[in-house]
């Protein structure tokens, strides 16, 4: 029996729903990454910070990949079919995003090549014991970067993502003030030097706050503009 021709409006609606699913999935994962990774730590071992945070990054990256594979598999035999977004990828390659794609692909390929040719392939794949870097972490970071890019295409989603990340920095800063006042309620196996909050070291905390400062400033400016435009606080 010949296959029935798909209705154009139905195909367009299915494409929009598929795009919305991908963006919503990416948005939720990026929000979790911005909230959970800075806050995650444990005190039961000598590697209480990097290992816990990197494990979360890898899990979130894996969730994104598995969700994407499942979504593409669900499109088999339907319209639009799997990998219908190839046209958009070709358009991105022809535009200014080409060099970003080249850079991301170059990082992935060179890291994979160095892992394959490494004298200690397992260490290069999973990372050293104390830092947990390696190919797996690099790929997970690239996957989260793609997810943030998909989320950032929509202005409302982009704004909400920045707000969630800014709010996620609040408990980190509060805990830093508690440590600075020598009121830390946590009994550390190895007491971190200085004020490290949930980042484990003062250097890591300063790096995180330096990255969050422009995000928080942008959210403050947007909220102020909205309040001035409406004559009151934003809803």
* Residues spanned by the domain of 148: 1-153
Say what the pLDDT of residue 235 is.
Answer: 53
Write down the mean pLDDT value for the chain: 81
Looking at residues 70-89, what average pLDDT do you find? 75
Same domain, 165 and 145: no
The last residue of a domain, from among 136, 153, 170: 153
Residue 234 reports pLDDT greater than 80? no
Same domain, 26 and 120: yes
Say what the pLDDT of residue 20 is.
Answer: 58
pLDDT digits (tens, 9 = 90+) for 207-224: 999 999 999 998 888 888
pLDDT digits (tens, 9 = 90+) for 125-163: 988 877 788 999 999 999 998 888 888 888 888 888 889
Same domain, 43 and 66: yes
pLDDT digits (tens, 9 = 90+) for 27-74: 889 999 999 999 988 877 666 678 888 989 999 999 989 888 888 788
Alpha helices in 117-182 (DSSP H): 121-126, 135-152, 155-180
Looking at residues 16-28, what average pLDDT do you find? 70
Same domain, 183 and 193: yes
Same domain, 208 and 185: yes
In which region does residue 200 sit, left (phi positive, over 0), alpha (psi from -120 to 50) or beta (all else)? Answer: left
Report d(CA 190, CA 31) in Å as an integer: 30
Domains of the chain: total: 2
Same domain, 162 and 143: no
33 touches 46 (CB < 8 A): no
Looking at residues 13-18, what average pLDDT do you find? 48
Residue 2 reports pLDDT greater than 80? no
Same domain, 114 and 166: no
């Amino acid at each position: 029996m010949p296959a029935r021709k798909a209705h154009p409006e139905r195909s367009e609606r299915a494409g929009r729903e598929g795009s919305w699913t991908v963006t919503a999935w990416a948005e939720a994962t990026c929000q979790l990454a911005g909230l959970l990774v800075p806050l995650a730590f444990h005190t039961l071992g000598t590697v209480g910070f990097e290992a816990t945070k990197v494990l979360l990054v890898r899990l979130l990256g894996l969730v994104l990949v598995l969700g994407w594979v499942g979504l593409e598999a669900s499109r088999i035999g339907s319209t639009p079919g799997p990998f219908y977004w190839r046209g958009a990828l070709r358009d991105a390659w022809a535009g200014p995003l080409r060099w970003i794609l080249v850079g991301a692909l170059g990082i992935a390929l060179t890291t994979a090549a160095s892992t394959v040719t490494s004298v200690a392939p397992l260490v290069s794949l999973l990372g050293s014991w104390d830092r947990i870097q390696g190919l797996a972490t690099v790929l997970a970071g690239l996957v989260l970067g793609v997810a943030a890019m998909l989320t950032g295409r929509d202005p409302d989603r982009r704004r909400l993502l920045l707000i969630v990340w800014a709010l996620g920095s609040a408990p980190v800063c509060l805990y830093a003030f508690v440590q600075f006042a020598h009121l830390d309620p946590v009994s550390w196996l190895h007491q971190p030097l200085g004020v490290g909050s949930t980042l484990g070291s003062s250097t890591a905390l300063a790096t995180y706050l330096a990255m969050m400062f422009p995000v928080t400033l942008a959210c403050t400016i947007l909220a102020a503009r909205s309040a001035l435009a409406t004559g009151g606080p934003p809803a």
